[in-house]
Amino acid sequence: MKYSLSQVNEIVHGRLLNIDEGKARQLFVTSVDFDSRRIRQNGLFLPISDHDHPKIHEKFADYTIAGVDGHLFIDATAKKGAAASLADHFVDSKLPIIQVEDTQLAFWQLAADYLKRINPTRIAVTGSNGKTTTKDLIASILATKYRVHHTEASNNNEIGLPKTILDMPEDTQIAVFEIGMDRPGQLTALSGLIQPDIALITMIGEAHIAFFKTRERIADAKIEIITGLKKDGTFIYDGDEPLLTARAGQFAGRKITFGLGAQNRYKLEHVSSNSTLSFDLNQQHYQVNLLGAFNAKNTAAAIAAAECFDLTPSDIQTGLDQLQLTKNRLQLLNGSQGEKIISDVYNSNPTAAREAIHILQSFPSKGHKFLVLGDMLELGDQAAAMHMALKEPIQTAGFDHVYLVGPLMQNLARDLNAPHYDQKSLDRLTTDLKAQLSPGDVVLLKASHGLHLEKVEQSLI
């Protein structure tokens, strides 16, 4: 991106401080960041404040960012080469300032302007599980023929999405945006900002059920992705999911389904998964370096999106071969003692945990299998029951070693007679694992990110 400070000021309806209009027309910013540690030369700093934002509530979404006031770091960004900063209250600084009513609203206004200026074809991806992998798949496939920009990591909320937009190269042809939600109205706002040409829902699961109480309400929130979808756009969704098929009629435009059922436009057959995934889709064979049979649906969804751009099966397979996954999502790693590590430590919910258990069960191994399972968060009143429901699949799998982590896993650990660890004893967990591991063993690490099992992963590596 490249804007003069004067242009930014006009877009966000601000007031210039510490610089006159003439110099503001000659001062250009080439990046935006809300993290003072990552600010770049000629960057624009966006300080986030810890308070409610009625403008965001009114125009985009209702949310609050917790933490310290980012305005305290404006001078620190100046030392790193920042050209200017936004601010929503008085700041004693010599750095050029654009004062606005709300810095987060200004962030959205600038992102909306830049998206309109570049005007790429836009793909929006959401779902209870699989949205990050599906986003990565779509981007990898489309990159065989197009200049593609996509969400990094999981920058998929009200702060991450405008950041993703403003990081977009000016020659981008297709932008693939992952968008997440944890409350009603959020996807309406995010979809409204993107105004996608293609909207895709991977599946409906139990993620955030603490807030929504039922899968039906989760489906109601997910279907909000179509509110910003262009009338001549395309809606892609899991045709095996009754909660989605019942709501798909809310969009009058083109609809494409994927799944295992014969009714789907993209029909999966002959799915096979151990160390790699292979399947037939509409009688065309594909394979991809992914774990888990459930990823066949994510790949089918990505192929459905890619074929909207006239890619051939050969193009698609090339894109699958070149796939680079976001870290900590069923990532296969090599441990320091010759073991394989299946790391899936970014998030967890009952559906994802059961799938991960099945992946470890079917994964080829010459040694022992170790299940390290941590708490699944944001399950509300159903948390205890949903954790105990994992007892049967764990017992059926017959793993050699089971280690459980977190307060919600205590009852399950007692029933399974398995070692239990709290979040403060991850070092002890790592020590116990290393004492048992040998070359040829396989370790699965699975938990919500709040358990921080990535620390165990790094120690094992």
Q: Residue 362: give its domain's CATH number.
A: 3.90.190.20
Give the number of domains in the chain.
3
Write down the pLDDT at residue 69: 82
Question: Which of the four pLDDT bands, split at 50, 70 and 90, describes residue 70?
Answer: confident
Do residues 445 and 361 both lie within one domain?
yes
Is 131 within any annotated ligand binding site?
yes
User: Chain-wide mean pLDDT for the chain?
Assistant: 92
Is 127 within any annotated ligand binding site?
yes
Do residues 97 and 133 both lie within one domain?
no
Does residue 109 lie within any of the structural domains?
Answer: no
Nearest to 160 by CA among 175, 138, 178, 147: 178
28-29 and 3-4 strand pairing? antiparallel
pLDDT in tens, 121-161: 999 999 988 999 999 999 999 999 999 999 997 789 999 99
DSSP E strands in 142-205: the ranges are 148-150, 174-178, 198-201
Do residues 353 and 308 both lie within one domain?
no
Alpha helical stretches, state H, 247-390: 295-306, 313-321, 350-362, 383-388
Question: Which of the four pLDDT bands, split at 50, 70 and 90, describes residue 58?
Answer: very low
- Predicted TM-score (pTM) of this structure: 0.86
Do residues 94 and 125 both lie within one domain?
no
pLDDT in tens, 29-38: 999 999 899 9
Domain that holds residue 197: 120-321
Do residues 303 and 335 both lie within one domain?
no
From CA 344, how far away is CA 456, in angstroms rounded?
12
Write down the pLDDT at residue 161: 96
Do residues 254 and 129 both lie within one domain?
yes
301, 321, 341 — which closes off a domain? Answer: 321
Does residue 304 lie within any of the structural domains?
Answer: yes
Does residue 213 lie within any of the structural domains?
Answer: yes
From CA 447, how far away is CA 379, in angstroms rounded?
13
Is 275 within any annotated ligand binding site?
no
CATH number at residue 278: 3.40.1190.10
Is 227 within any annotated ligand binding site?
no
Backbone angles phi, psi at 86, to 5 degrees: -85, 160
Do residues 79 and 155 both lie within one domain?
no
Do residues 220 and 278 both lie within one domain?
yes
Is 347 within any annotated ligand binding site?
no
